[in-house]
Chains A and B, each alone.
Chain A
Amino acid sequence: MINSKKKLVVIGNGMAGINTVEQILKLTDKYEITVLGSEPHPNYNRIMLSYVLEGSKTIEDIILNDLQWYEDQGITLYTGKMVRNIDGERKRIHTEDGLEIDYDLALIATGSQSFILPIPGKELPGVIGFRDIADCTAMLEAAKTYKKAAVIGGGLLGLEAAKGLVNLGMDVTVVHLMEDLMERQLDREASAMLKAELERQGIKFAMQMQTAEVYGQDRVQGLRFSDGSELEADLLVMAVGIKPNIQVAVQSGIETNRGIVVDDLMKTSMPDVYAVGECAEHRGICYGLVAPLFEQGSVIAKHLAGADTEGYAGSVVSTKLKISGVDVFSAGEFITAPEHTVIVAKDEWKRTYKKVLLRENKIVGTVLFGDVSESASLQKYVRQQTLMTDEIYGQLMGTGCSKDGAKTLSAETMADDEIVCGCNGVTKKAIVDAINENGLTTVDEIKACTGATRSCGGCKPVVEQILQYVLGDSFKSAAKQGICGCTTLSRDEIVAAIKTKGLTTTREVMNVLGWQNDEGCSKCRPALNYYLGMINPDTHENEEDSRFVNERLHANIQKDGTFTVVPRMYGGVTTPEDLKKIADVSLKYNVKVVKVTGGQRLDLIGVRKEDLPKVWEELDMPSGYAYAKSLRTVKTCVGSQFCRFGTQDSMGMGEVLERKFERLDFPAKFKLAVNGCPRNCAESCTKDIGIVGNDGGWEIFIGGNGGIKARLADSLCKVKTDDELIDIVAGVMQFYRETGQYLERTSEWVERTGLEEIQKAVVHDIDNRKALIERIEFTLKQLEDPWKKIIHNADSRKNLFEVVTPSMV
């Protein structure tokens, strides 16, 4: 058979070109495809170069389509081939090195290049852009030999480059012409918050500085600014913008402006020649992000496959900065103008900022900083110019209680061909089909199957919503997994088996219950060790090797590998003598920082591992268990001893409770607070157990949390006497110890178990309360101060803490 396929030649092997090809292949096989790319690599995810530079990905990780893929698809690929021009008369493409290729249809997808400022010295070695693998490798190399880097440009690209270079250990200054960072995506407020955060992460800034010249002998040595001042740098990254690659079009007589001019079907002025991606200019706009390129590619694909398509009408772009710990999002119109109605929430304590702009009550733009959990819904509202309603307002600005319901709804109403994952061009339909056809139940499976969430991760919340919406009720049961990847058994099944089968060690549990991974993992081993100890408090032998480092070494590990020591201070009360001792020991062992914690104690931060036992010995104080899944602190207010409002002795009660229940293991860390009166100065509402004194007794609250999952405590009951108070506290603690899942805080436990269940078990059922108290008392008897124990045990002192230093090398 004579080949009846039409020849499609793609110029540019980048993200837009290959994505268009992928979309074409999904719709039709009537093209014989050839791809020419000037880079020596197969198609890779340019977005992720930031991660390569930052060190969390390698070049191999970011390859999107390897050479095998091209072969499997029957695509002829030329890498390292630069196209010179298109001969529209003969329908032939010419490369720089003399190759000629005939086409029926041609697609220009040549992207853009870094814009290099036209200043003296720009051609010195060490001056580069941030665009491709070559630039990225150049930076990685430079960081090995040089120390000082400058990045010109405080936009998305410049900041990501700067963060990467900081991670590589360089001293980095970002030079920015404007007053605000990312001024094309953020407003002044968000920009200032961003700058503060990045400074915290080690990036320096030279704002409102215009670079006049790059100086250096054989290599860049520094910059000179227009005001005459200088900045030393032995690497200079220019990230001031991009310039569409239009040479091929220019050489071929195709109409260009800033980019290659295209119509709504992405056709250029030359018949049968299309353009897509950053090189294309549509209705006056050249887009510099991937999401629009995929929308353009989809139009071309449908058109070339002969399917109906409406044509490309432009995109609403949104931005996400890929720097860990810095969440920034913006979409649509974000600079306030007189015609906008603005909704703003700024929280300097949580360092969050949220702004939504309305025009004629329609949502037209947004800026988020610090908390971007609403970005998915907001992006959709902006794109669809949704009318603001009370419901949406509540969802965005309210307490967030109705969040789940509203979100599921948005996945449901989303159009099939709406792109969910902008980075990888995955539509809602593709995800829904993948779930239905392959029986997927997790985001990871969807990632492996469709590529969604594979890049910046910004789309993950929406992917989760779609999963939830498609699976409906079966979502929960499908998501029902074992306590970790090593087993399919749940916490309750394991605890029951330990009891009925009389299992005594983690190893035994794993053997008998058929663990897939012989020795378990960092998730199940500590959990099993806890359950075993909770069930058999007298006979269980704590397994050091199944404890997370903090609990094994009885100190908090810090990011540099040093440790923090926190002595106990019962009820947050100390003495001048103890303070003096703490000060002396801190000086002697070079403690880096002495910090007052949120729980009213002193952190001695930065102790070397090998010094820990000596520090404990010399402090001669009990361990504060600041590192453990255990009773941490009992926060107290001043109370009736001194406070003019106090009706109960909160300091006294705090101390009693802390002394009684210290050293007890819990499923997760455990905090108490005791207040002398309802003014609640010690903030009981965010503690696992909060106690508030009143005129005739105490009120007990449980399940509060000020951490990851902020939650106000529920009122459990009121009691009249101190004894009753201690009994109820003991009952709640033991009930939680016995029924909580490992790492589950009481805030989650109370919600899962139900307040009424707990009231029944601890408050109303007196016999049960007694039994709980008996068991907790029995456990309390077994406990010993870990610091003392180690000080007196030469073996564990040596094996756990000492560093071996062989004398001769």
Chain B
Amino acid sequence: MKKKEMVAMLLAGGQGKRLKGLTKSIAKPAVYFGGTYRIIDFPLSNCTNSGIDTVGVLTQYEPLVLSSYIGIGSDWDLNRKNGGVFVLPPHEREDGSNWYRGTADAIYRNLKFVDQFDPEHVLILSGDHIYKMNYNAMLQYHLERKADCTISVIDVPLEEASRFGILNTEEDLKIYEFEEKPSKPKSTLASMGVYIFKWDVLRRALLDDGEESHSSHDFGKDIIPSLLSKGKAMYAYPFEGYWRDVGTVASLWEANMDLLSDNPPLNLNDPSWRIFTRNPNQPAQYVAPGAKVSGSLINEGCIVRGEVKHSVLFYGVEIGEGSVITDSVIMPKVKIGKNVRIHKAIISENTVIEDYMEIGTDRENEDEILLIDNRSKKRKSVPAKTI
């Protein structure tokens, strides 16, 4: 194998329990987003657009959909002779078989995979964030500072800072302390879960950590604090664009809604930074006479006869006459009958909503986002509960 400057390792093994029914049979990175994408399209497209052509995708929970979705990677231009995309599930080894015990352990168990490319640097990514980021610019920053580790950070409001891993830095952004979800945060620089390590430094740290019996084998909890304590050169890389963790039903819904303003903070129409995805190849969407569509994102293969307001429709959705959909996310191939009302809900893939159903129109808790699939369809004219 030809030597690579940087190899990306994408952590995609998590179940994402807080996404409830959406991750019942697929891993979190395979969850749908933005009318046509899956969450993992964002880090994969960022790699392609940043010129990174070698990506290991670490899977564990329900890998089938994810690995068949990625395939040979041609949709992200990652079908390469030298490099490309590799799906890396846990595997049996001479010393036994184990599931990945943590984020760091997943990389530790794939040392041989990374070693074959003999990279200078390794980029660690997670598969549950929506953002567009040039990892190559981050690598240049990492190189300029001769850093052992560079962590991408985003400035968050102080009151939210305790939900994140917070980095405390010197003025030159050199990190002196990392606190996982601190109750009294000292700074507002939150880790985005995007790390660049010098491979030899990380390799050594992973080998040490692998031996450690009471380690949780996690980047945030173990590897980064341990490297800090050893006095390694670690810097924060400030990122200023749009970034959302879509780990909960509410945050997934909000991030979808963010796409709907007239000037959305995340531009999906930028030809210089396309988000690639597996194309379902559907005919053009049909908006019938009498239909009304506004403030919405609608994919091909949809047939709209009713009213769609401030909502996201994935491919192959049909909406019957007289139906009104507001503030909702409708996933692929959902069939919605006539005179249906849906407000502030996520309807999961392949769900059929019968005529005259009302979902979320009479809710007690305005903040709650209803998640509906075929199992919850029998509720008529009553707010269906989140499942």
Q: Do A and B bind each other?
A: no
